[in-house]
């Protein structure tokens, strides 16, 4: 738990999985109409642990959408269509024929939008018999571990993130390349979302400062990519050190919920002969700020 007082949970059982971040949550069926008190504890568990995991959940797309709406407004993925009948859900799929997977780099979701996603809710529909884990890193820890001099320098900087990975597919259709497999998109080929955000952001609920970095970052505002690269490389390495991470092994029916305001994540690509199908919903966030 993050330098915070350990809170009692009256409705849920919380079991931490690592010293840095991450906890499994028990005693709740996410497909049911559980009480607001239970929802408040789920939300508090996320604030305390940054990423939370649920096992053995049987949930329909409609139920996943209903659960996501209890967190806030849906953040629709700007570059691709959702499932038929459920535009809120993006299907993230890799088959044995595909060499790459989506999200195989450290990042935080939708960083190239003016108001990046607050939380991501990922549900396992089909998982490989081995591999396919997701890793998470604690960006509070990344900030806290910086020297005072580095904190002072970064306090005035903004990063520029962009969706320049949107390319024209071989069949003439647009594709979203997220470090992995292609997802067909609705957006026109010239769609590009670019946003500048503080490299240090203040979490609007906890008031804590976190490093706000990820694989979408191209440069610092007012600097070239060449000038920015050495510091970006350092901050990415610093923010994803092993001691600041946890790793989650998926099972059918597992769900992960992570706070994009204070974490990064990476989907491992180590299941070349297997299929992995996940249903993802992102919840709308606010414009990052620093104070």
- Catalytic: which of 48, 75, 107, 201? 107
**280 counts as catalytic:** yes
Per-residue pLDDT tens digits of the chain, which is 291 residues long: 444 445 678 899 999 999 999 999 999 999 998 999 999 999 999 999 999 999 999 999 999 999 999 999 999 987 778 899 999 999 999 999 998 888 999 999 999 999 999 999 999 999 999 999 999 999 999 999 999 999 999 999 999 998 875 432 333 333 444 433 444 444 444 455 899 999 999 999 999 999 999 999 999 999 999 999 999 999 999 999 999 999 999 999 999 999 999 999 999 999 999 999 999 999 999 999 999
Q: Strands 51-54, 23-26: parallel, antiparallel or unpaired by DSSP?
A: parallel
pLDDT at 192: 57
- Name the token pair of 190: 């010239």
Structure confidence at residue 193 (pLDDT): 85
pTM of structure:
0.89
Which residue out of 48, 75, 109, 201 is catalytically annotated?
Answer: 109
What is the DSSP-derived secondary structure letter of residue 16?
A: E
For the chain, how are helix, strand and coil distributed in percent, rounded to 5?
A: 20, 30, 50
Written as six digits, the tokens of 150 are: 């580095």
Q: What is the pLDDT of residue 6?
A: 54
107 tagged catalytic: yes
Which residue out of 208, 209, 265, 279 is catalytically annotated? Answer: 265
Catalytic annotation present for 265: yes
Name 259's bridge partners. Answer: 119
Active-site residue flag, 247: no
Q: Could you give all domains of the chain from N- to C-terminal order, each with its CATH number?
A: 13-283 (3.60.130.10)
């Amino acid at each position: 738990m993050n330098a915070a007082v350990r809170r009692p949970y009256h409705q849920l059982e919380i079991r931490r999985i690592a010293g840095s971040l991450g906890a499994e949550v028990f005693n709740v069926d996410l497909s049911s109409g559980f009480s607001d008190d239970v929802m408040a504890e789920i939300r508090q568990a996320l604030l305390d642990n940054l990423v939370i995991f649920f096992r053995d959940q049987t949930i329909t797309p409609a139920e996943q959408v209903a659960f996501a709406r209890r967190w806030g407004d849906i953040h629709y993925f700007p570059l691709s269509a959702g499932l038929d009948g459920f535009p809120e859900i993006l299907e993230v799929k890799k088959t044995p024929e595909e060499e790459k997977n989506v999200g195989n780099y450290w990042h935080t979701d939708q960083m190239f939008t003016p108001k990046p996603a607050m939380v991501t809710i990922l549900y396992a529909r089909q998982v490989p018999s081995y591999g396919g884990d997701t890793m998470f890193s604690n960006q509070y820890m990344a900030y806290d571990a910086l020297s005072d001099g580095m904190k002072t320098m970064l306090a005035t900087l903004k990063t520029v993130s962009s969706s320049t990975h949107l390319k024209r597919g071989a069949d003439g259709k647009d594709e979203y390349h997220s470090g992995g497999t292609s997802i067909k998109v609705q957006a026109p080929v010239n769609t590009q979302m670019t946003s500048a955000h503080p490299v240090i952001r203040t979490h609007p609920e906890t008031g804590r400062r976190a490093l706000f970095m990820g694989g979408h970052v191209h440069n610092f505002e007012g600097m070239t990519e060449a000038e920015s690269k050495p510091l970006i490389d350092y901050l990415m390495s610093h923010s994803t050190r092993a001691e600041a991470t946890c790793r989650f092994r998926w099972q059918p029916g597992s769900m992960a919920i992570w706070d994009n305001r204070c974490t990064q994540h990476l989907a491992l690509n180590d299941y070349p002969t297997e299929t992995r199908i996940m249903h993802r919903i992102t919840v709308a966030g606010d414009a990052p700020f620093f104070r």
